[in-house]
Amino acid sequence: MTRSVVSVTVDLVLLTIRQGALQALLVRRGIPPFQGRWALPGGFVLPDEDLAEAAARELREETGVDPTAGHFEQLATYGAPGRDPRGRVVTVAYLALLPDLPSPVAGSDAAGADWRPVDDIEPGELAFDHDRILGDGIERARAKLEYTPLATAFCPAEFTVADLRTVYETVWRTRLDPRNFHRKVTGADGFVEPTGGTVIRDRGRPAQLFRRGPATLLHPPLLRQSSPPGS
C-alpha cells in the first residue's frame, strides 16, 4: 500500500459583521509562497494537536479571541495535489462566526491582518485556493442561518431583536419585515431569552435585550427566499 506523506494545515474562515457589512479576517502573507498576498489565517497542525485544537489556537493567535465567544465548526477539507507549491499540503478549514470584537487582530503574527467586507474581495485576490474556501464558508453561514439560531453568534452577549434582524439582512443581503421578524424570533422555542433589560439605540421606544436561548435548531426555520416586502 502506497502511503502519501503530507503536511496538514488548518485555515480559518472568520466572519463577523462590522460597519453594516459581512466581513472576513484576512492576513497578508509575510513569507513565500504568495508573499504579500492576502490569505485566510491558518497554520500547520502541531504533532500532538487535534485538528479543532489547532484551529482554536490559530484563532486565539490571530484575533486574541476565545473560540467560545461565537460559533466554531469544521467547514471542509481541501487537498488537491497542486494547491500548495511547497508540496502536498492538505488543509482542514474551520468556520467561525464572531461578534464584532472590541480588540480584533491583536497579537497577530502575520505581516498584516484586517477585516475585509467579503463583497470587496476580488476573485483571484487570495492565495492558494482560499477564494473557494472563503466562498464555501460564506455559503455555509448563509444556509445555517435558516435552520439554526446561529445568527446570535454574530451578536454580543446581549442584543435586541433589531440587532438580530440586521444580522440576517446583512448576511442574506435582504430586507425583512421588522414586525413579522419580531413575532417569529420571539415565538421560536429557545431561540432567544429576555434578559429583562432595555436599551435605546438612537431614537424611539427602548428595545428589550435578549440573550441566546438553548435551542440548537430552529423550528420552524426562518426561510431566506420568502417574498421580500414591497416587491
Partner DNA sequence: GTAATAGTGTCTTTCAGACATTATGTC
Partner DNA sequence: GACATAATGTCTGAAAGACACTATTAC
Give the footprint of a copy of itself on this chain (CB under 8 A): 1-8, 43-51, 74, 76-81, 88, 90, 92, 147, 219, 221, 225
What angle is formed at CA 32 by the lines to CA 29 and CA 35, rounded to 5 degrees?
40
Regarding 229 and contact with DNA (CB under 7 A), the answer is yes
Under DSSP, the state recorded for 87 is S
Tell me whether residue 9 or residue 63 sits nearer to a copy of itself (CB atom): 9
Task: Please identify, among the stretches 9-17, 85-93, 139-147, 199-207, the one whose residues bind DNA according to the rule CB under 7 A.
Answer: 199-207
Tell me whether residue 180 or residue 198 sits nearer to a copy of itself (CB atom): 180
Q: Which three cell numbers stand for residue 55?
A: 484551529
Chain centroid to CA 105: 15
Question: Residue 183 binds which entry of a copy of itself, DNA, none, with Cβ cut-offs from 5 to 8 Å by kind?
Answer: DNA
Regarding 172 and contact with DNA (CB under 7 A), the answer is no
Tell me whether residue 87 or residue 196 sits nearer to a copy of itself (CB atom): 87
Q: For cell 492538505, name the residue.
A: 90
Regarding 207 and contact with DNA (CB under 7 A), the answer is yes
Task: Give whole-number Cα distances, 28 to 36, 104, 185, 188, 219, in Å.
Answer: 6, 15, 39, 42, 41
- Beta bridge pairs of residue 45: none
Tell me whether residue 10 or residue 161 sits nearer to a copy of itself (CB atom): 10
Phi-psi region of 176 (alpha: psi -120 to 50; beta: other; left: phi over 0): beta
Min separation Cβ 179 and a copy of itself, Å: 23
Min separation Cβ 226 and a copy of itself, Å: 10
Regarding 157 and contact with DNA (CB under 7 A), the answer is no
Rounded Cα gap, residues 116 and 86, in angstroms:
27
Rounded Cα gap, residues 103 and 69, in angstroms:
13
Tell me whether residue 2 or residue 227 sits nearer to DNA (CB atom): 227
Contacting DNA (CB under 7 A), which of 46, 156, 183, 197? 183
What angle is formed at CA 152 by the lines to CA 21 and CA 143, rounded to 5 degrees?
70
Q: Which three cell numbers stand for residue 112?
A: 498584516
Question: Residue 80 binds which entry of DNA, a copy of itself, none, with Cβ cut-offs from 5 to 8 Å by kind?
Answer: a copy of itself
Regarding 203 and contact with DNA (CB under 7 A), the answer is yes
Rounded Cα gap, residues 27 and 115, in angstroms:
9
| Contacts with DNA, residue ranges (CB under 7 A) | 160-162, 177-180, 182-184, 186-187, 198, 200-208, 220, 223, 226-231
